[in-house]
Chains A and B, each alone.
Chain A
Amino acid sequence: MKTGELNKDSEMLYSGHNACPGCGAALAVRYLTRALGPNLAIVLTASCWSIISGMPPLTALKCPILHCPFPSAGSVGSGVKRGLKATGQSDTTVVVLAGDGGTFDIGLQAMSGAAQRNEDYIFVCYDNEAYMNTGMQTSSATPFGARTATAPYPLFKAGQKKDIMQIMAAHGIPYAATATVAFPDDMENKLKKAQKISGFRFIHILSPCPPGWGTESSDTIHLSRLAVSSGFFPLYEIENGVTWRMTNLQEEKRTPLKEYLSAQRRFKQMDEARMAQLQQEVDHDWDCLMEKVVTCPSE
């Protein structure tokens, strides 16, 4: 967002929504609706945003929202888009908005089906790395070592975070990308690019959650930036499941993961050995990613 272009009229999100102070998901949807709007319809599965969008008669978005059951986001999105096409409104962008639970766990089969059918809509997952709305229970998006309501101290999330991007790439969908709230320009570019493509498009947005991650509400952007600079959440896009491309020119020297982890209370009891283990995983994922990406960066 360039300073000269900032104005409130193009925003699709109203003040007065029900997100917690410092909510990354609210910011993510703000950038998303702004980039894709105004001709937009949102299909919303059970997630934080079911609450944030407001209790009737109030609504936090200037576009229509269709709430749907937890596992069905992928199929409801397909139906809405087909319905709009059938009534001659094919220029309306359909966005399915789901949390990490509605994408990684409960919504996976419907999403996988829609991706396989190459349904024409954008599936956006805002990932706050646990079921934050219901009380911070572990999801398959929770990173290794984090404490959650279902893995309280001295337990911790034992397995690795599911690599949803690889899953989506394996579906061979036309476009998939990662984005995060600290880089609104990057997010906007990806969403606009996705809007121009038809077929199933997937955007994975890391959105820090102050109460769930145990961080200061003012640290949202800082953490989101650290996640990228440490290589924990690299920003890239995948075209047709084969062309992998980094979208920010990341320096070879990444910041140590420890800086990112120590700012969050969910990793407070993490000892050095486990931190080293997670760092190793991140390094490994980074190396795998580097093997896949094409050398020339986007545009």
Chain B
Amino acid sequence: MLTDTVQHEKPCYSCGFEPSTANKTGDWRFLTPEKRSRLSPCRQDCLLDGEIPQWMEAVKQEKWEEAWDIVSRYNPFPAITGYVCYHPCSDNCNRGELDQGIAIEEVEKAIGEWRLNNIKPQQKLVKLKGRVGVVGSGPAGLSCAYYLNKAGYEVTIYERTALIGGMLALGIPEYRLPRNILSRELNFLEEEGVRFIESCSIGNDYDLCQLYEEFDSVFLATGAWKPRRAFIPGEEDRKVYNALDFLSAINSGEKIEISDPVIVIGGGNAAIDSARSALRLKGINHVSLVYRRSRAEMPANQEEVEAAEREGVEMVFNALPREIEKEEQTIKGLLFDYCKTDLNGLSIDRSRSFSKGCGTVIMALGQQADLSLFCNVESNVSLFAGGDLVTGPSTVPEAIRAGRVAAYSIISELEGSPAPKLMLPEQPVVTFEELNLATKLNVKMQHREETPALEASRCLGCGTCNSCGTCFVFCPDMAVDIINGRYELNLDYCKGCGICVKECPAQALVMEGGR
């Protein structure tokens, strides 16, 4: 018997024995493991609801096309968001508890750039489903156009200014978003069949009602461009800019009259962008940012504030501008009152006022949406609007999300299909304590890696199967199959011991009652 069966390439069974695989032990089972994704902290915090662990897994295996397919379900412009998004996703990364959180934005950027370099635009030859007009070419309008175009609609985007991109082109400084990334994304969209009409202001050059007649549906994403005013004496001077005018003048290459030193008033992201942009201008040596509340109350992104400070922007807190001081029609300085927040709101102490010399003032007091557009819209049309126009000034990813939501809502209305699910289902987030890192076979302490694939390989894949193979290694019944590099449970032989569920480092398996 021994000599007969001693190794052939395949066992020959001439001894009369057969593999025990004929014995389907799966029917012993009374509990069944099941693969089920759970919510990761990054996805919970992602402004776009992106499936981050899933595309991390694809990048880890260098399956870039798959990664792009997954990313683009929720975010059609990963290259842009990789640069401009404040990546709240990485704030609560579970890996941070171990060594250092994943640089999610860098991997996202890499996917976006891979797509721009490697995927050719595909124009659909026939577009029969319908025509949709989009007002505003900002991130919301662009993302809506992307999803509608992909679904087979003909999309025309109307832009008020001569530059396509809205806030991406005019509001965001070049140091935060390289212009060639934006222009390549725009070219891509155009080559895929989206039409752009520049310098056409709906309401002035073209009537909104006419748009409704021309198109099957219209999406309004005009953004929030109307600046808030400070209502202080001297505000009308030509060297008092509002932040968006100032930023768009720089971004569109206009000449700006500006003299040193510069004071920026406000504590939001537009204020930081203005201050950092001003510091980059020729002849400007000193920029100070004055905010009426304390540093902790600043709405601006913390990383940006730190970057501004590193670059040399002076920060002044608890100061409210009272008056712009002038001498012979030129600005000499700004008079501030001390103020602070207490239980009654903002309390001003006029006895502690001070003056600060300056040549230029930039007001970044926030923006509002201009709603005059809606004045003569008839009440019987379905109004789709999104982005800053609806939410007030927010961020690029939130606008992209609004565009996606609008696109799917428009599709569901035009096609009469059920409304899409727009919110992630409420479920508990996978915590660091839940992750079974003792079994993670290849977790090593390591810090941020240089290539995207290596960085992605640090992802613990919270709540998502990331093909680590732990279930395969620890299954006493060999009831885990490897199919195309992915691990699948083979319930024919699973006895339901639950080792895989208990040991899964990513919490991607659950035990269910019954077979």
Contacts and interface: CB of A to CB of B under 8 A. Distances in A.
Interface of A: 1-3, 6-8, 11, 13-24, 26-27, 30, 38-39, 41, 54, 56-60, 62-64, 66, 80, 84, 87, 89, 92, 181, 184-185, 210, 216-222, 225
A16 B499 contact: no
B6 interface: yes
B468 A3 contact: yes
Contacts of B479: 15
Contact of A56 (B11, B17, B499): B17
A249 B61 CA distance: 31
B32 to A, nearest CB: 12
A217 B495 CA distance: 10
Contact of A8 (B468, B482, B503): B482
A56 B1 CA distance: 13
B481 A8 contact: yes
Nearest to A218: B498
Contacts of B16: 56-57
B11 A62 contact: yes
Nearest to A207: B476
Contacts, number: 144
Nearest to B503: A221
B468 A14 contact: no
Contact of B499 (A2, A8, A60, A218): A218
B492 interface: yes
Contacts of A7: 482
Most buried by A among B17, B24, B479, B482: B17
A54 B16 CA distance: 13
B23 A30 contact: no
Interface in B476-515: 476-479, 481-482, 490, 492-493, 495-499, 501-503, 511
22 contacts: A1-B469, A3-B468, A15-B492, A16-B23, A18-B23, A21-B495, A39-B7, A56-B16, A56-B17, A57-B18, A58-B22, A58-B23, A59-B19, A66-B1, A92-B6, A181-B474, A184-B473, A184-B474, A219-B502, A220-B476, A220-B499, A221-B439
B210 interface: no
Contact of A24 (B4, B476, B490, B495): B476
B107 to A, nearest CB: 19
Contact of A1 (B15, B438, B441, B481): B441
A89 B17 contact: no
A1 B480 CA distance: 15
B504 to A, nearest CB: 11
Which 3 A-B pairs give the minimum distances between C-beta atoms? Answer: A218-B498, A22-B497, A21-B497
Given A64-B2, A64-B6, A218-B501, A14 B496 contact: no
B20 A54 contact: yes
Contacts of B467: 3
B499 A221 contact: yes
A222 B502 contact: yes
Q: Is the interface of B mostly helix, strand, loop or mixed?
A: loop
Nearest to A59: B17
A74 to B, nearest CB: 18
A54 B502 CA distance: 28
A62 B9 CA distance: 11
Contact of B18 (A1, A58, A220): A58
Interface in B1-50: 1-7, 11, 15-25, 28-29
B243 to A, nearest CB: 50
A14 B441 contact: no
A105 B296 CA distance: 72
Contacts of A26: 476-477
Contact of B476 (A19, A54, A59, A63): A19
A119 B11 CA distance: 28
Contact of A60 (B20, B439, B469): B20
A181 B476 CA distance: 10
A30 B478 contact: yes
Contacts of B451: none
B412 interface: no
A189 B502 CA distance: 25
B15 to A, nearest CB: 8
B477 A17 contact: yes
A63 B18 CA distance: 12
B438 A14 contact: no
Given A2-B441, A3-B441, A218-B498, 14 more contacts: A8-B481, A16-B21, A16-B493, A17-B477, A21-B477, A21-B497, A26-B476, A58-B17, A58-B22, A62-B19, A64-B2, A64-B15, A220-B497, A221-B502
B472 interface: yes
B478 A80 contact: no
A59 B474 contact: no
Contacts of B6: 39, 41, 64, 89, 92
Contacts of A13: 478
B20 A17 contact: yes
Contacts of B439: 221
A21 B500 CA distance: 12
A59 B498 contact: no
Contacts of A11: 478
B347 interface: no
Given A7-B482, A27-B474, A15 B493 contact: yes
Nearest to A184: B473
B442 interface: yes
Contacts of A89: 3, 6
Contact of B20 (A20, A59, A84, A217): A59
A113 B498 CA distance: 41
A216 B498 contact: yes
A74 B436 CA distance: 40
A221 B503 CA distance: 8
Most buried by A among B4, B29, B497: B497
Nearest to B438: A225
Contacts of B18: 57-59
Contact of B478 (A8, A23, A41): A8
